Amino acid sequence: MGYAVQLYFDAGLEGSLMRVRSALTAAGVAPTLERLGDRPHVSLAVLEDAPVQRCIAAVEKFAEAQRPFPASFAAFGAFPAAQGVVYLTPTPTAALLQAQRRMHRLLSELGAKVHEHYVPESWVPHSTIGFELSNDEVALALSWLHGNFKPLAGAYGSVGLIEFVPVKRLAAFELRAQRPREPRPGTSFDKVDTST
């Protein structure tokens, strides 16, 4: 059993990613992620063991301080591992890299054991679209993506903690930090009225 902190997308981008998964299934790639009940996401951390309630609190704290931010995909790939993983590559923006570092710091402060591939210096951002695929299915998926994949864009909108395998959603929170208020033209927050 393990745990993962997953960053989720707005409804439009999630729908686009589900359509890519469906097209791969129609092309002959096994729909393993759908069987697991896993929704499209980018994992910020995978934990081998975790104090669950404290991790949920850390994920909520992250969500409270994080505004939704742009997400886009323009590339794809496969990990050279026996797990048969094919993925789409999110653009590694400064905002995404900072979010992952902040989540790692929050979890480390709890003493949670983060998998070595999710330490900030080693992290490869990805959104898995095929898992436990045979070599033939990996080749088929990459061929289909090469001929059909078009860049996608949207936003990261929520974050959650899951337990796996099988996937069990433990908590999810909307990203909800507010933008700092900006003064209206002609005003300033630091001016003090001294006319009285």
Average pLDDT, integer, range 4-30: 96
Q: According to the model, what pLDDT value does residue 188 have? A: 42
Report the CATH architecture of 2-174: Alpha-Beta Complex (3.90)
Q: According to the model, what pLDDT value does residue 181 have? A: 53
Q: According to the model, what pLDDT value does residue 180 have? A: 55
Q: Domain map of the chain by residue range?
A: 2-174
Q: According to the model, what pLDDT value does residue 48 have? A: 86
Other C-beta atoms within 10 Å of 21: how many?
19
Tokens of 21: 């998964």
Residue with tokens 């864009």: 153
Residue 194 has pLDDT above 80, yes or no: no
Q: Using alpha carbons, select from 154, 146, 14 the residue that is nearest to residue 72.
A: 154
Residue 39 has pLDDT above 60, yes or no: yes
Question: How far is it, in rounded angstroms, from Cα 79 to Cα 84?
Answer: 7
- In the chain, the percentage of residues whose pLDDT exceeds 90 is 80
Residue with tokens 């080749």: 139
Q: In which region does residue 145 sit, left (phi positive, over 0), alpha (psi from -120 to 50) or beta (all else)?
A: alpha
For all residues of the chain together, what is the average pLDDT?
90
